[in-house]
Amino acid sequence: MKLSLLSVLALASSTSAFVASPQSSRVSTSTQLYERKPFITGNWKLNPNTKGEAIALAEDIASSVTSDSPGDVALFVPYPFIETVQNICGDKITVGAEMCTPEMKGAFTGGISPAMLASIGCKWVLAGHSERRTINKETDEYINAQCLKVIENDMSVMLCIGETLGEYEQNLAGPICELQLKKGLAGVSKEDMSSVAIAYEPVWAIGTGKVATPEIAQDVHEQIRATLKNMYGEDIGDSTKILYGGSVSPDSVDGLMAKPDIDGTLVGGASLSGESFGRIINFQA
Ligand code: 13P
């Protein structure tokens, strides 16, 4: 669903979430008080081609996860590979699905329900990835239904949000993220927020090689955290993990992860190489 610029601006001006000075929201970030363990995740998208290649890639990635790795690791992989990758990764890496249908049963050809995913031990599901929003025309309402059903089926959901290049150039990153958060999380209770992580993925940075600078990403993450505090209170705002995604590479990960409100990464292209993703998993804190 496309939003008119006016409706976005109206929403931005009707909220107090973005009037806090950078200084005050930085102070209330309290990363020191809320130890958010880093969460490094990969999204394989429509890759690799075969089960054999998926096995080789999963083995390569799993070999990079050691007791010295600084955070938790998860891989979102195509459905046919979920159980195979789970078997390879054991408890080193959590395996998730790249989407699900909110419908639970019946005449929905091609559908994959949250209950099906939960029954094979899937722990996480992505919702609202920009490619699903644009290519598959998933609306905020559909994405919201996915979030609610994933949580209802005892899995965690990573809600992806982010602005287009045009929106970024009009200074609308914060308001767009606020709107997508409010619509995507409608009906998600404060208690359920322990099953939610947010991935900020500016559309202009996905697959383009144009990674957001750590400063740009931190600024938007701070605004997203302010919105979460506004919606759910200080403690939820402080404890919810917010990951950055968009052309993350071995070269950019350390600078991004150094920022106080960036709790992890959602990596596309670079998660298809054991060497690159291994370096990202073992970022230098
Ligand atoms: P890239 O890392 O390839 O830019 O993809 C990011 C992404 O969309 C992860 O979900």
Amino acid identity at 236: I
13 has pLDDT over 90: no
Q: How far is the CA of 48 from the centre of ligand 1 (A)?
A: 15
Q: What is the rounded average pLDDT of the residues 149-154?
A: 98
Q: Is 269 in the pocket of ligand 1 (CB under 6 A)?
A: yes
Q: Is 161 in the pocket of ligand 1 (CB under 6 A)?
A: no
Q: How far is the CA of 139 from the centre of ligand 1 (A)?
A: 20
Q: What is the pLDDT of residues 205-234, one digit of tens each?
A: 999 988 899 999 999 999 999 999 999 999
Q: What is the pLDDT of residues 232-251, one digit of tens each?
A: 999 999 999 999 999 999 99
Amino acid identity at 167: E
Q: Is 264 in the pocket of ligand 1 (CB under 6 A)?
A: no
Please state the atom number of ligand 1 nearest to the C-alpha of residue 266. 9
Ligand 1 pocket test, candidate residues 43, 76, 276, most atoms within 8 A of CB: 43
Question: Which residues contact residue 72 at a Cβ distance below 8 angstroms, ignoring those fewer than 6 apart?
Answer: 37, 38, 39, 40, 94
Average pLDDT over the chain reads 90
Instruction: From residue 272, give the alpha-carbon distance in Å to each of 42, 194, 246.
Output: 8, 29, 14
* pLDDT value at residue 35: 80
- Percentage of the residues of the chain whose pLDDT score is greater than 90: 86
Residue 209 CA to residue 79 CA, distance in Å, equals 27
Q: Answer yes or no: 221 catalytic.
A: no
Q: What is the rounded average pLDDT of the residues 269-278?
A: 98
Domains (range + CATH), the chain: 46-238+250-281 (3.20.20.70)
